[in-house]
């Protein structure tokens, strides 16, 4: 999920900066067919098995935000990934590690 959002945002920002003249736009990110879907965090809890988020009870997840052409792309990617990770009851403090890898989410609620 994270890699898909990150690459799609990079693509749209490249198109915007290359071909489109306006400074602001509404970015809308949508995931469909999410009813009863859970997000696997990529982590295992030693005794309990894999760490999985809560099942989503909505058919569609959407996040919209007005963005500016000069906005930092990495900050924008962080906002989007964090929002969608939270939809599944998980939390990610920082999407990117110091070496540029994507961090794994943890539980949102204990």
pLDDT tens-place string over residues 40-71:
888 777 677 788 888 999 999 999 999 999 99
Rounded Cα distance, 53 and 110, in Å: 12
Q: Is residue 33 scored above 70 in pLDDT?
A: yes
Q: Is pTM, for the whole model, over 0.75?
A: yes
Q: What is the pLDDT of residue 43?
A: 79
Between the alpha carbon of residue 64 and those of residues 25, 38, 93, the distances in Å are: 10, 22, 20
pLDDT above 70 (res 20): yes
Q: What percentage of the chain carries pLDDT values higher than 70?
A: 96
Confidence of residue 77 (pLDDT cuts 50, 70, 90): very high
Residue with tokens 């760490």: 51
């Amino acid at each position: 999920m994270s890699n898909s959002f990150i690459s799609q945002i990079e693509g749209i920002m490249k198109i915007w900066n290359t071909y489109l003249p306006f400074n602001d736009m509404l970015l809308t990110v949508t995931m469909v067919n999410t009813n009863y879907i859970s997000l696997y965090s990529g982590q295992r809890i030693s005794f309990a098995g894999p760490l999985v988020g809560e099942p989503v009870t909505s058919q569609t997840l959407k996040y919209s935000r007005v963005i500016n052409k000069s906005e930092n792309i990495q900050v924008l990617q962080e906002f989007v990934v964090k929002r969608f990770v939270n939809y599944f009851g998980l939390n990610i403090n920082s999407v990117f590690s110091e070496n540029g890898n994507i961090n794994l989410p943890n539980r949102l609620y204990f």
